[in-house]
């Protein structure tokens, strides 16, 4: 049964194996003020405690915007969160222990762009646009953008977007590897849920171990990363052997258990 928890101005709804966290301020292009950031952090804590929600999907209400970043008309409400453990916009300084997907419709700007980068995967629509537009106002990137964007698209492309503040469209976002898939308008959440369920259906201990090793590898030497990967993967060997036996018996041939792309 779906679990729905309304934490104004955020909604938390469990749909199958996914928790859908929605920013509900369409009148402000889902920009985040202090109460919204607090609610995001509460929703994140709810997801961590929800054992049935293996994947979190972050999205914004309405077709116009995923999130336009910090609400510049309510910066005073965000000031107390600047040094918050979870980050100014809720949970951006936390490392999620489970997979996360951003379902992006419309504008994805400034701190909203940083929220999308916090996620492992990003599903956008053909009309989505991305950019660090706070560059023109001198607002710093303090929700992880300077750290995560280079890890996603590489240093050169990250510096281009960070230094110029230019806005890119969905085609360019896909071409530089910023987004995982591009779908028709109105279909981002549907596709994210489909992908989330497919991910949740895989053998879980192995998937989580591989995800952790991949994320950790971004900040360590290769030799150290290989050791960490081996240590983390060893306890899941039994799962792998069981899976290999199922494959040898005919399960999953020709990629039948791999989630198809949207394209």
Which residues form the catalytic set?
114, 134
Match 């590898």 to its residue by tokens.
217
Is the bond into 9 cis (omega within 30 degrees of 0)? Answer: yes
Q: How far apart are CA 55 and CA 48, in angstroms?
A: 10
Match 């005919």 to its residue by tokens.
250
Instruction: Give me the half-sphere count of Cα atoms (radius 13 Å) on the Cβ side of residue 44.
Output: 23
Q: What is the gyration radius of the CA atoms in the chain, in angstroms?
A: 19
Closest to 128 (Cα-Cα) out of 105, 94, 155, 162? 105
108 pairs with which residues across the strands? 67, 130
Q: What is the dihedral of CA 52, 39, 112, 173, to 10 degrees?
A: 10
């Amino acid at each position: 049964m779906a679990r729905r928890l309304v934490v104004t101005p955020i909604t938390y709804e469990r749909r199958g194996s996914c928790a859908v966290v929605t920013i509900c301020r369409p009148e402000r292009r889902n920009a985040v003020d202090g109460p919204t950031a607090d609610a995001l952090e509460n929703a994140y804590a709810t997801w961590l405690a929800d054992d049935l929600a293996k994947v979190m999907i972050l999205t914004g209400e309405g077709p116009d915007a995923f999130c336009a970043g910090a609400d510049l008309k309510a910066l005073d409400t965000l000031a107390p969160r600047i040094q918050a453990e979870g980050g100014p916009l809720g949970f951006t300084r936390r490392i999620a222990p489970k997979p996360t997907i951003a379902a992006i419709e419309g504008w994805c700007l400034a701190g909203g762009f940083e929220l999308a980068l916090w996620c492992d995967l990003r599903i956008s629509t053909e009309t989505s646009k991305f950019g660090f537009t706070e560059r023109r106002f001198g607002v710093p990137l303090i929700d992880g953008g300077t750290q995560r964007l280079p890890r996603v698209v590489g240093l050169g492309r990250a510096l281009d977007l960070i230094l110029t503040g230019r806005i890119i469209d969905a085609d360019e976002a896909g071409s530089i590897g910023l987004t995982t898939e591009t779908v028709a308008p109105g279909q981002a959440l549907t596709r994210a849920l489909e992908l989330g369920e497919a991910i949740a259906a895989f053998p879980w201990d192995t998937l989580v171990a591989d995800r952790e090793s991949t994320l950790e590898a971004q900040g360590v030497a290769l030799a150290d990363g290989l050791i960490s990967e081996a240590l983390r993967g060893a306890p899941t060997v039994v799962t792998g052997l069981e899976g290999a036996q199922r494959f040898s018996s005919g399960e999953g041939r020709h990629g039948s258990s791999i989630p198809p792309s949207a394209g």
